[in-house]
């Protein structure tokens, strides 16, 4: 947990007013900069103190053997782990004889600020060396959203009281020493010295390093150039070694004098291109950055973000903390996906090595819904990356004895990297999640080229998977046995409702596309018999229901299991998976994360309102939220069934997941999906937005503490602005086309220049608040606010 | 598979007439000698050629870390692996300048014979060296059943045509080079040089070595002494090194002259005793052996076995192959258990390193039923070993959040060593299997001291386990969810019928003992409330039944799963676990080994005859017998439901499992449980013996090919001799007490000196033969016999 006072509450930035050494690790993640291609953790410029230095390139990984004490057929033999690439953000500072290090001397002031509108990480410090020499320091860092190979730093030192001899060493460092990881399985496996030096060089104020990874065979190049402004006599030299490029600037500063160093860094990597080609590519990027110049890069950054906020901003009136959190969230979601460009969006973005840098279903289910309605090009890129891994997914399906494609549970490059199959390979729902993201992206954008191309291939091959994975029973019901749903406290179950409903949608959508694009269908080898089988499987899909309890069991038999003994579980035994064996978790009614409740969000069309209310209450009692992928979904469904204040609580939890370090692992990187979830909790939760089968609907309702919530979404290039108050909601379109929506179930048409205003009805029933497991209630937002 | 002609068919021995280098590995297992404490594989005396040298001491293991790519709470961190201890059977032979090695020169004759009545492994060879020197060789080897620390070899060399210079090196070798293991998970993990030298010495014709294991900290001592008889001029020297003790005998033999070396070897090991203490212990054992002398040891061995065969022999008239196989089986079962004396009986006995030398449920469920009625003291020892591990099983239960004890799925020393929990820890039935073995042992022996002591503690603590593992559902049914039954092609299922029925018996029996021994119950902290809960849980136990199919599903939901596509599975895809992922196996109707069918054997009182017939037919269609623990049970139940010829087929498969190497892994050691299963298939199968709730019953019926089957069992120190013909069965008691039995359901009393003779009724119904999966039918014994 991060204490209240660590960061200020401001609507457009995250500000840390003092350097807090005990929060160094979390701050490194929170202040991380990324454009989806390059990621730099928020390490101090001088390198130390640090918790975990981190520089990442999307797609750069090393292989490591996956050990098994008892091997089994089809277990992946090799894992992929994101590696810490060449560190280009290091700028060491020597003041007289002493290295600038806040742990020594006296740090009079230290402030950091991540500005969501400029995309800059600003830092100001005033430090007195142990020998009594005072200096002022400012640094501004960016990872360019407009030039994806480029990052830059403006670093300024000023003498305060006495003349100071200053040495600045700006470096590229490969194979940095990293701290030993702890035993938490969620933390990345360490890889020592993963980069083999290939070439290095230095001249004038530049240096470059080229390396290759040993087993994955990827070539990584980094280069830097500098602009130096200082008093007369300032000298610049450069040198290079296999793992070190260094540009050194020396000067003597008199009080009021200032040394200013602008560092441009360019990165490139490839599994194919030769050393000279890659070196040239990086030099070219560096030249372009130099030509644009520092101010030019800052201006491009601001323009890029200005456009983004005009499309995607969410305004929350009445709760500045949530306002800040949702912008922080959107900023980081953008950073993760903006320029990924046919690479994966990992669970942690490029903010840390958590989960080995792997991409999971998080992307399609939580991140792409945000991007599809705000930055659809980024959503398309992410899906094109999935599509590019289809040959590997097809090979995996064949290995498992299945047709179509079986996408990996966790991967960087496309191969399955999960070594515990009951929680990995068996989680087949990822295939339907990808299909769901395709369907949503096409519905949001109307991108028919994508639909008939990449989209249709993904839907057809995943439909084939479901058809071979399931089977008909003697009564003709289509069953999907032995799979794992989203809830990781159950595994290898029969007819998980979430999986079956998502597969049903997948099969239906594939059949519909076959009808719509018959030529493409022929190209993909689909005939009428095959698509008829898909429709039949979808129609006959088994959806278990417990008549006695009047609710949907999460999977067949679930409601007959013993309920977890929450009363006997102490607060320090959460997360349960670190204190109880899977054996025990799997066999009891205890839910790590929304599963049936997620089905009610994504396939709400398959449930009645009464079922939703009963189901929600039932699963609330069992859900411990040991996963960051739960609170946002609980917010969405709580809002739908009328628990508006509870939705507000869950929304808060999702929004503050990292700002408060609620799961105590923000050090390893941010929870990108949970950040995206704060948008979902607001837009799909309080805003009640749904988009089933092409019908866009809203059911807005605000908690008492909020005055207003407004947001924009893009629907087929048309901007819809939704402005929700306590009493009514106002819908405005920016385009010349009218737009049909449902407002709380009632159809309405929004005409251009004529906002649709509709009153907000009272909540559906007088529902009593559902109970959560003892000690696992979300913090009440209203109570919290009075404490703030 | 081993071809027909490799061994002769003889009733009282296993004879190999020629040395077959391609069957070396299998022969090493088949010719292994053991007394349950020491195990020597049937390696050639000269050491090479070999497939796998093996010398084992029951309980001597090394620890090895168990690696996990994704760790989990409660996973065992350390495994235990049997190690190859000091090899005391090596006697190298140099003829003139050439080592005796059958791969060179000419092997004129080579015969080996394992004699089940003498317990000796005899070997005769005639060899011409590459230089043309002919010699005759005989060796006789024993591992003493009477002196458990002792083994001995009588080794004789004779010159044939010309004078020969002979050097014999009799050795103790530690840390032998072993061949690399292959990738089969069932093969033991290799441990290189596991023994650290501590002391060594040599004088006269003796040598000894003392070592310690590195991580498990066990001290192992081996010593040897020799008696040498040779022509004048025969010289003997000795020497020792850290890993080698050597006694060298040199002589020149003229044609007809003979060198005779008798080697006595003694072993000792301890985790507690000091080096001098252990060294003295081994020297004392050696002195005793020397004092007994070679002929004395041979005589003791014969006496021991004569007593055994008088108690345990099974006579099969009409099928010599089965006659040989069942005696081979009983001989090896005896070797595995005879002198284990409060150590485990491992799955492979001490015949090879397979399964890491671990002990599983095999012991209690397959081996102890044989021993309980033939050598009950050995059964008691095995159960006392289990009892000695209770503190570890109690700690494991607590780690898993359970009460009572949770015995390990696989272990040497008592700690859980299974690294794949769905097929290990989740197989909780092992606890009920242990209880079952206790109940059977007490019923067989009437050993009330054992019952009130060790037996009651085992039953009470396992009953506590079941009570905490299960729970009552809303309708008051007692459920045991998320466990794995015997069939390893299903895992983590709800209400496995086998598990629930065995737990039910466990709970009932514990409650009955509490009633019978109230003082002991108080000592164990059991009050009336607790035992009432056990009775209630037993009474309310969920036993799923599929009304539509009219059969018991193996576990809840099993019969709704898709059936395995046997038609699409080619013969080389068996065993399935090496060619298909667990994921696929678990979710389909395919059975590796008898599970529901085993329940019908062990808890036959819980099924009607009609249920048994329907269930058997249903599961026959799904059972692929990829485990050696299936054929014998299928034989037992096939016989009961009236498929006598099919029972004969399965009996044959169980009996020939190792003699024919049917699972292609006899090289790693014998399948002790399947060997025991050949007794079960005859006695419980064709003999129809059952012993439920103190009632002994028989339902004998022979297949057409057998004239007679007779066997003895011991019931409370009374010998019952059963003699079954085609038309009737004759029951005789040796004691003065009359004995009540059921014969085909009809009560009868056997009076002393007055055999009970009863006719054998025709089979229950005119049943059509059940089907097996395509290509997995057992070989038809009748057809085989015409080919033989």
Which A positions 209-238 lie with beta carbon below 8 A of chain B?
Answer: none
| pLDDT value at residue B783 | 58
Q: Is B269 in the same domain as B344?
A: no
| pLDDT value at residue B316 | 97
Tally of CB atoms within 10 A around A760: 18
Q: What 8-state DSSP symbol labels residue A493?
A: B
pLDDT in tens, B329-343: 999 999 999 988 889
Q: Is B203 in the same domain as B323?
A: no
pLDDT in tens, B509-546: 999 999 999 999 999 999 999 999 999 999 999 999 99
pLDDT band at A536 (very low <50, low <70, confident <90, very high): very high
What are the residues whose beta carbons fall under 8 Å from the beta carbon of A674, sequence distance 6 or more?
A366, A628, A629, A631, A632, A654, A657, A658
| pLDDT value at residue A734 | 87
pLDDT band at B181 (very low <50, low <70, confident <90, very high): low
Q: Are A34 and A20 in contact (CB under 8 A)?
A: no
Q: Which residues of B342-352 are buried (b: 16+ CB within 10 A; e: fewer)?
A: ebbbbbbbbbb
pLDDT reading at A185 higher than 60 = no
In which domain, by residue range, is B119 found?
A: 4-274+293-311
Q: Is B429 in the same domain as B565?
A: yes
Which B positions 173-192 lie with beta carbon below 8 A of chain A?
Answer: 183, 185
ipTM reported for the complex, 2 dp: 0.90
Which A positions 402-431 lie with beta carbon below 8 A of chain B?
Answer: 418-423, 425-426
Give the CA dihedral B523, B524, B525, B528, nearest 10 degrees: -100
Tokens of A757: 């205003």
Instruction: Choose the final residue of a domain: A270, A285, A300.
Output: A285
Q: Is B562 left (phi over 0), alpha (psi -120 to 50) or beta?
A: beta
DSSP readout, B118-135?
A: TTEEEEEEEEE-TTS-EE
Residues β-bridged to residue B136: B126, B158
Cα–Cα distance, B635 to B362 (Å, whole number): 17
pLDDT in tens, A362-420: 999 999 999 999 999 999 999 999 999 999 999 999 999 999 999 999 999 999 999 99
Q: What 8-state DSSP symbol labels residue A464?
A: H
Q: What is the mean pLDDT of chain B?
A: 95
* Helical residues (DSSP H) of A663-780, grouped into ranges: 672-680
> Known binding site for substrate: residues of B?
361-362, 592-593
DSSP readout, B432-451?
A: HHHHHHHHHHHHHH--HHHI
Has B523 been annotated as catalytic?
no
Record the pTM.
0.94
Q: How many domains does chain B have?
A: 2
Q: Is B270 in the same domain as B378?
A: no
Chain A residues with CB under 8 Å of B546 CB are none
Q: Which residue has the tokens 């739960």?
A: A630
Q: Is A505 in the same domain as A629?
A: yes
**Residue of A66, A421, A577 with shortest CB distance to B583:** A421
Tokens of B488: 């390893």
Mean pLDDT to the nearest integer, A229-246: 97
Cα–Cα distance, A443 to A463 (Å, whole number): 19
Q: Is A224 in the same domain as A334?
A: no
Note if the bond before A533 is cis, omega within 30 degrees.
no
Neighbour-count burial of B12, counting CB atoms closer than 10 A to its CB (0-12 exposed, 13-18 middle, 19+ buried)? middle
Q: Which residues of A are part of the catalytic machinery?
A: 488
Tally of CB atoms within 10 A around A38: 25
| pLDDT value at residue B3 | 75
Q: Is B330 in the same domain as B374?
A: yes
pLDDT in tens, B556-579: 999 999 999 999 999 999 999 999
Return the CATH number at A172.
2.70.98.40
Cα–Cα distance, A222 to B613 (Å, whole number): 74
Query: What percent of chain A is predicted at pLDDT more than 70?
Result: 97
Q: Is B219 in the same domain as B131?
A: yes
| pLDDT value at residue A188 | 47
| pLDDT value at residue A427 | 97
Q: Is A272 in the same domain as A330?
A: no
Is position A294 annotated in a ligand binding site?
Answer: no
Q: Are B86 and B7 in contact (CB under 8 A)?
A: no
| pLDDT value at residue B386 | 97
Note if the bond before A231 is cis, omega within 30 degrees.
no
Chain A residues with CB under 8 Å of B418 CB are 70
β-strand pairing of B61-65 with B78-82? antiparallel
Q: Are B499 and B515 in contact (CB under 8 A)?
A: no
Tokens of B188: 């033991």
Cα–Cα distance, B612 to B597 (Å, whole number): 8
pLDDT reading at A583 higher than 80 = yes
In terms of Cα–Cα distance, which of A316, A317, A350, A356 is closest to A333? Answer: A350
CB–CB contact A579 B73 (8 Å): yes
Cα–Cα distance, A126 to A618 (Å, whole number): 56
Q: Is B746 a member of any domain?
A: no
- Which chain A residue lies closest to B425 (C-alpha atoms)? A583
pLDDT reading at A541 higher than 90 = yes
> Known binding site: residues of B?
361-362, 592-593
- Measure B430 CA to nearest chain A CA, in Å: 16
Q: Is A195 in the same domain as A335?
A: no
Q: Is B749 a member of any domain?
A: no
**Residue of B426, B560, B581 with shortest CB distance to A74:** B581
pLDDT band at B626 (very low <50, low <70, confident <90, very high): very high
pLDDT band at A75 (very low <50, low <70, confident <90, very high): very high
pLDDT reading at A190 higher than 60 = no
What are the residues whose beta carbons fall under 8 Å from the beta carbon of A294, sequence distance 6 or more?
A152, A154, A227, A262
Give the CA dihedral A604, A607, A609, A615, nearest 10 degrees: -100
Q: Is B141 a member of any domain?
A: yes
Cα–Cα distance, B713 to B721 (Å, whole number): 7
Q: Is B736 a member of any domain?
A: no
Tally of CB atoms within 10 A around B573: 12
pLDDT band at A342 (very low <50, low <70, confident <90, very high): confident
| pLDDT value at residue A186 | 43
Tokens of A507: 């099969």
Q: Is A741 a member of any domain?
A: no
Q: Is B730 a member of any domain?
A: no
Cα–Cα distance, A533 to B203 (Å, whole number): 84
Q: What 8-state DSSP symbol labels residue B638?
A: H
pLDDT reading at A184 higher than 70 = no
Q: Is B468 left (phi over 0), alpha (psi -120 to 50) or beta?
A: alpha
| pLDDT value at residue A779 | 86
pLDDT reading at B467 higher than 70 = yes
Q: Is B441 a member of any domain?
A: yes
Cα–Cα distance, A110 to B589 (Å, whole number): 66
Mean pLDDT to the nearest integer, A234-247: 98
Return the CATH number at A481.
1.50.10.10
| pLDDT value at residue B341 | 83
Q: Is A755 a member of any domain?
A: no
In terms of Cα–Cα distance, which of B187, B185, B190, B26 is closest to B578? Answer: B185
Note if the bond before A198 is cis, omega within 30 degrees.
no
| pLDDT value at residue B485 | 98
**What is residue B322's three-state secondary structure?**
helix
Cα–Cα distance, A499 to A483 (Å, whole number): 8
Neighbour-count burial of A449, counting CB atoms closer than 10 A to its CB (0-12 exposed, 13-18 middle, 19+ buried)? exposed
Of A129-133, A364-368, B477-481, B537-541, give the lowest mean pLDDT range.
A129-133
* Main-chain dihedrals φ then ψ at residue A222, nearest 5 degrees: -135, 140
* Helical residues (DSSP H) of A81-127, grouped into ranges: none
pLDDT in tens, A281-334: 999 999 999 999 999 999 999 999 999 999 999 999 999 999 999 999 999 999
Instruction: Choose the final residue of a domain: A285, A304, A324.
Output: A285
Cα–Cα distance, A255 to A249 (Å, whole number): 18
Q: Is B241 in the same domain as B257?
A: yes
- Euclidean distance between the first and the last CA atom of chain A, given in angstroms as a whole number: 16
Tokens of A208: 């470059």
- Measure A610 CA to nearest chain B CA, in Å: 23
pLDDT reading at A525 higher than 70 = yes
pLDDT reading at B154 higher than 80 = yes
Q: Are B371 and B337 in contact (CB under 8 A)?
A: yes
pLDDT reading at A781 higher than 80 = no
Mean pLDDT to the nearest integer, B442-464: 97
Q: Is B257 in the same domain as B148?
A: yes
């Amino acid at each position: 947990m991060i204490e209240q006072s660590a960061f200020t509450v401001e609507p457009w930035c995250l500000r840390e007013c003092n350097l807090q050494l005990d929060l160094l690790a979390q701050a490194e993640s929170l202040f991380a900069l990324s454009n989806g291609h390059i990621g730099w953790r928020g390490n101090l410029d001088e390198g130390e103190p640090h918790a975990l230095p981190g520089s990442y390139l999307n797609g750069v990984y090393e292989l490591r053997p996956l050990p098994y004490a008892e091997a089994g057929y089809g277990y992946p033999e090799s894992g992929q782990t994101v590696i810490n690439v060449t560190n280009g953000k290091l700028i060491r500072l020597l003041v007289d004889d002493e290295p600038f290090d806040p742990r020594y001397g006296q740090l009079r002031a230290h402030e950091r600020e991540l500005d969501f509108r400029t995309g800059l990480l600003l830092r100001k410090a005033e430090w007195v060396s142990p020998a009594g020499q005072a200096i002022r320091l400012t640094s501004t860092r960016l990872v360019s959203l407009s030039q994806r190979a480029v990052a830059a730093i403006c670093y300024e030192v000023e003498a305060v009281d006495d003349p100071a001899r200053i040495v600045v060493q700006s470096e590229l460092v490969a194979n940095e020493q990293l701290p030993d990881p702890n035993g938490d399985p969620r933390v990345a496996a360490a890889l020592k010295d993963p980069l083999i030096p290939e070439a290095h060089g230095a001249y004038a104020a530049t240096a470059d390093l080229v390396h290759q990874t040993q087993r994955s065979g990827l070539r990584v190049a980094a280069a830097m150039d500098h602009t130096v402004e200082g008093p007369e006599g300032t000298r610049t030299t450069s040198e290079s070694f296999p793992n070190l490029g260094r540009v050194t600037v020396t000067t003597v500063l008199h009080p009021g004098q200032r040394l200013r160093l602008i560092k441009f860094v360019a990165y490139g990597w490839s599994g194919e291109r030769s050393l000279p080609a890659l070196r040239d590519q990086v030099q070219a990027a560096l030249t372009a950055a130099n030509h644009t110049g520092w101010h030019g890069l800052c201006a491009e950054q601001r323009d890029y973000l200005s456009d983004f906020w005009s499309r995607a901003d969410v305004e929350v009136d009445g709760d500045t903390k949530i306002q800040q959190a949702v912008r922080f969230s959107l900023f980081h979601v953008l950073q993760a996906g903006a320029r990924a460009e046919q690479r994966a969006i990992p669970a942690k973005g490029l903010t840390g090595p958590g989960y080995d840098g792997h991409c999971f279903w998080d992307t399609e289910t939580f991140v792409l819904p945000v991007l599809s309605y705000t930055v659809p090009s980024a959503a398309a890129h992410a899906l094109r990356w999935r599509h590019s891994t289809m040959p590997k997914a097809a090979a995996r399906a064949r290995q498992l004895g299945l047709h179509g494609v079986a996408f990996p549970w966790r991967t960087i490059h496309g191969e399955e990297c999960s070594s515990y199959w009951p929680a990995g390979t068996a989680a087949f729902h990822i295939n339907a999640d990808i299909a769901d993201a395709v369907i949503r992206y096409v519905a949001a954008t109307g991108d028919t080229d994508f639909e008939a191309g990449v989209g249709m291939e993904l839907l057809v091959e995943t439909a084939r998977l479901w058809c071979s994975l399931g089977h008909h029973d003697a009564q003709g019901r289509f069953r999907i046995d032995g799979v794992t749903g989203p809830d990781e406290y159950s595994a290898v179950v029969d007819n998980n409702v979430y999986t079956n409903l998502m597969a049903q949608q997948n099969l239906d959508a594939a059949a519909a596309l076959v009808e719509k694009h018959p030529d493409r269908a022929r190209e993909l080898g689909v005939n009428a018999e095959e698509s008829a089988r898909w429709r039949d499987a979808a129609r006959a899909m088994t959806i278990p229901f417990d008549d006695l309890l009047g609710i949907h069991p999460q999977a067949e038999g679930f409601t007959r299991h013993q309920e977890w003994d929450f009363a006997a579980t102490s607060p320090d035994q959460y997360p349960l998976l670190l204190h109880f064996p899977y054996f025990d978790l799997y066999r009891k009614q205890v839910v790590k994360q929304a599963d049936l409740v997620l089905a009610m969000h994504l396939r709400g069309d398959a449930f009645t309102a009464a079922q939703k209310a009963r189901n929600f209450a039932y699963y609330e009692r069992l859900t411990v939220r040991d996963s960051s992928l739960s609170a946002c979904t609980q917010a969405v469904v709580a809002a739908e069934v009328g628990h508006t204040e509870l939705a507000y609580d869950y929304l808060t939890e999702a929004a503050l997941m990292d700002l408060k370090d609620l799961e105590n692992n923000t050090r390893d990187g941010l929870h990108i999906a949970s950040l995206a979830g704060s948008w979902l909790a607001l837009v799909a939760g309080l805003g009640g937005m749904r988009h089933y089968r092409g019908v866009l609907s809203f059911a807005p309702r605000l908690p008492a503490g909020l005055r207003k919530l407004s947001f924009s979404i893009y629907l087929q290039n048309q901007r819809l602005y939704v402005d929700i108050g306590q009493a009514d909601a106002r819908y405005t379109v920016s385009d010349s086309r009218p737009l049909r929506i449902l407002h709380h179930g009632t159809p309405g048409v929004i005409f251009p220049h004529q906002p649709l205003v509709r009153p907000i009805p009272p909540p559906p029933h007088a529902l009593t608040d559902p109970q959560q497991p003892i000690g696992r209630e979300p913090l009440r937002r209203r109570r919290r606010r009075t404490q703030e």
